[in-house]
Amino acid sequence: MRSEIIVDKVSLQYYNGNETIPALADISFRIALGEFCAILGPSGCGKSTMINLIAGFITATSGFITVNGAPVSAPGPDRVVVAQDYSLFLWKTVRANVEFGLKARGLRAGERRAMAQKYLDLVHLIPFADNYPLELSGGMRQRVALARALAVEPACLLMDEPLAALDMQMRHYLQDELLAIWTQTRQTILLVTHDLDEALYLADCILVMAARPGHIRATFTVPFPRPRSPDLRLTDGFQALKREVAMSLYAAVAG
């Protein structure tokens, strides 16, 4: 199953005591069925807020969000989030964390175990399956969060810097794994990242956000054919688009 995401004139204000924080203003975009879209933007411009809105964790002050035609009013099994803080269950083992969510999908114990094993293997964490999150490094915890989300194979995958804590080798390996999975499942993916190369290598489209209040500054189409392989990063076309997106991002950071 796949889902289209439509964000239509969405604004959001946070209220902190008597202070109003205009986090997002008049955001509109559409992510087509099975499209892979990346969001880049400076810290504090509202990227996580955008993810939380689509996930249904928070509600827009104005505007509408629909996923597969249905208005988003609460979290749902069609949308799974890899949160910036990993949000693991600290009292559950790594394996139990990854199995969580599969029960809700109606998988039996044996199927849950097999699925968890598949994704723990993918993120190279089989040796730590019976450990608890606090016994792992930050990058390992991040991989547990990724495995937990991928295992559910949701229609929409909403990822907030899912590879940020990883070394370059692991990051590149998981980028390729993510592409391989997506090629099979064609889930609709929204990925927040601070890594320009990651956005260009993975996505079909890139939204560049700017802050105060958060808005979309520019939208880029990423035209590189698929399947993509690591040497794409070295091509002139990749470098030229990277320069263009970087200029937009620097302007967004400057305000």
Residues of this chain that bind ligand ATP (CB under 6 A): 14, 16, 21, 23, 41, 43-49, 84
Minimum CB distance to Mg ion smaller for 3 or for 48: 48
> Binding to Mg ion (CB under 5 A): which residues in 43-72?
47-48
Minimum CB distance to ligand ATP smaller for 43 or for 73: 43
Minimum CB distance to ligand ATP smaller for 99 or for 198: 198
Q: Which of Mg ion, ligand ATP, none does 21 bind, CB closer than 5 to 8 A by kind?
A: ligand ATP
- DSSP letters spanning the chain: ----EEEEEEEEEEEETTEEEEEEEEEEEEE-TT-EEEEE--TTSSHHHHHHHHHTSS--SEEEEEETTEEP-S--TTEEEE-TT----TTS-HHHHHHTTTTTTT--HHHHHHHHHHHHHHTT-GGGTTS-GGGS-HHHHHHHHHHHHHHH--SEEEEESTTTTS-HHHHHHHHHHHHHHHHHH--EEEEE-S-HHHHHHH-SEEEEEETTTBEEEEEEE----SS--GGGGGSHHHHHHHHHHHHHHHHHHH-
Could you give the CA distance from residue 241 to residue 254 in angstroms, rounded to a whole number? 20
For residue 154, the number of C-alpha atoms closer than 13 Å in the C-beta half-sphere is 26
Minimum CB distance to ligand ATP smaller for 49 or for 68: 49
Please report how close the Cβ of residue 253 comes to Mg ion at its closest, in angstroms: 15
> Binding to Mg ion (CB under 5 A): which residues in 77-136?
84
Q: Which of Mg ion, ligand ATP, none does 18 bind, CB closer than 5 to 8 A by kind?
A: none
Minimum CB distance to Mg ion smaller for 193 or for 248: 193
Please report how close the Cβ of residue 173 comes to ligand ATP at its closest, in angstroms: 24
**24 contacts 10 by C-beta, under 8 angstroms:** yes
Minimum CB distance to Mg ion smaller for 82 or for 151: 82
Please report how close the Cβ of residue 45 comes to Mg ion at its closest, in angstroms: 9
Give Cα 2 to chain centroid, integer Å: 15
Mark the segment that binds Mg ion (CB under 5 A) among 33-41, 42-50, 130-138, 242-250.
42-50
Please report how close the Cβ of residue 210 comes to ligand ATP at its closest, in angstroms: 10
Minimum CB distance to ligand ATP smaller for 49 or for 97: 49
Count of residues that interact with Mg ion, criterion CB under 5 A: 3
Please report how close the Cβ of residue 183 comes to Mg ion at its closest, in angstroms: 27
What is the number of the residue whose Cβ is closest to Mg ion? Answer: 48
Q: Which of ligand ATP, Mg ion, none does 73 bind, CB closer than 5 to 8 A by kind?
A: none
Q: Residue 1 to residues 92, 116, 196: CA-CA distances in angstroms?
A: 29, 20, 29
Give the interface with Mg ion as residue ranges (CB under 5 A): 47-48, 84
